[in-house]
Structure 1
Amino acid sequence: MRIDLHTHSTASDGTDTPAELVRKAAAAGLDVVALTDHDTTRGHAEARAALPAGLTLVPGAELSCRLGGVSMHLLAYLFDPEEPALLAERELTRDDRVPRAKAIVAKLNDLGVPVTWEQVARIAGDGSVGRPHIASALVELGVVETVSDAFTDQWLADGGRAYVEKHETDPFKAIQLVKNAGGVCVFAHPAAAKRGRTVPESAIAEMAAAGLDGIEVDHMDHDADTRARLRGLAKDLGLLVTGSSDYHGSRKTVALGGCTTDPEVYGEITRRATGAFPVPGTGGV
């Protein structure tokens, strides 16, 4: 059984529509895929409608958080998407994305980069605009070779020359919101140091005590030593260990199913959740 619990569609910063994503997931031999767009569940309905037979969809979202000045992400699974408090927090984060992106464009212009808001908006389409869309614009302009190359201190990384802060939820608040909505929380790529500063392990221990369910260990941004260290930490803290591709379509090189989650861990996630249920595919449209 092959399970990928972290993917993105055009509802946020992926390049595949939700329908395309689930079809590609089935073609890649996955049995279970989670759709976890940034701070939104907008792609879930389309993914459900297109879900191929034999593939199960886990509805989720990746929540933007900040702790002690460090940006971090929480993967939330199987929560009630209409629960008012969590919905309001997600909308607050999403609503801040456009003014933040426009401010980044202005900073890039001040640095001599001829990127325009119209170019970024075209790339983002109907998705929730974010730094990856701006990074794609920089690739189009030949400023950098790849999207990853834009996430440096030179450009868009946390604290970089063109970085602008956005609304991000305190992770302890986010954990409580997800729990109140019947969901399950996993800390996404907690040691992805090449993305910027990471939170200390002591903070992960505090989040575990506050109800964090797991940490994403098997991820493209974690090397073998990091994965071994995180596995030990998860064992010590009684946290679940997940693995995921963090698939973004053509915006990143990782393939669907590049990293996967143990079926027993997936079973435990579904047992803990009360806000929503996995959706079995019936053939799609």
Structure 2
Amino acid sequence: MRIDLHTHSTASDGTDTPAQLVRKAAATGLDVVALTDHDTTRGHAEAVAALPEGLTLVTGAELSCRLDGVSMHMLAYLFDPEEPALLAERELVRDDRVPRARAMVAKLNELGVPVTWEQVARIAGGGSVGRPHVASALVELGVVPTVNDAFTRDWLADGGRAHVGKHETDPFEALRLIKGAGGVAVFAHPAAAKRGRTVSEAAIADLAAAGLDGIEVDHMDHDTQTRARLRGAAKELGLLVTGSSDYHGSRKTCVLGEYTTDPEVYGEITRRAFGAFPVPGAGGA
């Protein structure tokens, strides 16, 4: 059984529509895929409608959080998308994305880069606009060769010349909201140092005490030594260990199904959740 619990569609910063993503997941040989767009559930209905027979969809979202000045992401699985408190927080984070992206465009213009808001909005389409869309604009203009090359201190990384902060949820509040909506919470790529500063293992222990369910260990941004260290920490703290691709389509180099989650861990996630249930495919159009 092959299970990928972290993917993105055009509802946020992926390049595959939700329908394309679930079809590709089935063609790749996955049995379970989670759609976890940034701070939104807008892609779920399309994914469900197109879900091929034999593939199960786990609905979720990746919530933008910040702890002691460090940006971090919380994967929320199988929560009630209409629960008012979590819905309001997601909308607050999402609504801040447009002014933030406009401010990044302005900073880039000051640096002599001829990027426009119209270009970024076109790239984002109907999705929640974010840094990857601005990064894609830089690639289009030939400023950087790849999206990853835009995430440096020269450009869009935290503290970079064109970086602009946004509203991000306190992770302890995020845990409260996810649990209140019947969901399960997993800390995404907790040691992805190439993305910038990471939270300490002491902070992960505090999050575990506050109700964190698991940490994403098997991820392209974690080397072998890091994975071993995180597995040890998870065992000590009683946390679930997941593996995921963090697939974004052609925008990033992540390969769908490249890293997967153990079926027993997946079963435990579904047992803990009560806000929503996995959706079995019935041969969508």
TM-score bracket for the superposition, by shorter chain length: over 0.9
TM-score (norm 1): 1.00
User: Which residue identity is paired with 1:230?
Assistant: L
Equivalent pairs counted in the alignment come to 285
Q: Identify the residue that residue 150 of structure 1 maps to in structure 2.
A: 150
Using the size of structure 2 for normalisation, the TM-score is 1.00
Alignment of 1:75 with 2:46, yes or no, is: no
The letter for the 2-side match of 1:48 is V
Q: Matched residues, percent identical? A: 86
Deviation readout 1:186-220 (Å, 9 max, x if unpaired): 00000000000000110000000000000000000
- Alignment deviations for residues 29-85 of structure 1 (CA, whole Å, 9 cap, x no partner): 000000000000000000000000000000000000000000000000000000000
> For residue 30 of structure 2, what is the aligned residue in structure 1?
30
Offset at 1:164?
A: 0.4
The amino acid across from 2:7 in the alignment is T
Q: What is the distance in 2 between the residues matched to 1:115 and 1:251?
A: 18
Query: Residue 169 of structure 1 corresponds to which residue in structure 2?
Result: 169
Q: Report the equivalent of 1:210.
A: 210
d(CA) in 2 for partners of 1:90, 1:127: 14
Structure 2 Cα separation of the partners of residues 118 and 46 of structure 1: 26
| Structure 2, unaligned runs of 5 or more | none
Distance (Å, rounded) in 2 between the aligned partners of 1:226 and 1:27: 31
- Per the alignment, in what secondary structure is the counterpart of residue 73 of structure 2? strand
Letter in 2 for 1:191: A
Q: Secondary structure at the match of 2:15?
A: coil
- Matched with 2:55 is 55
Partner of 1:260: 260
Could you list the structure 1 runs, at least 4 aligned residues long, displaced by more than 3 angstroms after superposition: none
- Distance in 1 between residues matched to 2:192 and 2:112, nearest whole Å: 30
Amino acid at match of 2:157: A
What whole-Å deviation, never above 9, does each CA across 1:239-259 have from its counterpart, x for those lacking one? 000000000000011111010
Distance 1:171 1:239 in 2: 16
Q: d(CA) in 2 for partners of 1:100 and 1:228?
A: 37
Task: Give 3-state SS (helix, strand or coil) of 2:164's partner.
Answer: coil
After the TM superposition, which residues 85-100 of structure 1 pair with which residues of structure 2 at under 5 Å, given as runs? 85-100=85-100
* Distance across 2 between alignment mates of 1:218 and 1:17: 25
Stretch moving more, 47-56 or 247-256: 247-256
Q: Structure 1 CA distance, aligned partners of 2:270 and 2:155?
A: 40
Find the counterpart in structure 2 of residue 230 from structure 1: 230
Residue 234 (structure 1) shift: 0.2
Instruction: Give me the whole-angstrom Cα distance separating, in 1, the residues matched to 2:121 and 2:24.
Output: 26
Aligned to 2:5: 5
SS, match of residue 6 in structure 1 = strand
Partner Cα separation in structure 1 for residue 59 and residue 132 of structure 2: 22
Letter in 2 for 1:212: L
CA RMSD of aligned residues (A): 0.3
1:133-148 aligned within 5 A: 133-148=133-148
**How far is 1:109 from its partner?**
0.5
Are 1:159 and 2:151 counterparts?
no
Give yes or no for the alignment of 1:116 onto 2:116.
yes
Unmatched segments (≥5 aa) in structure 1: none
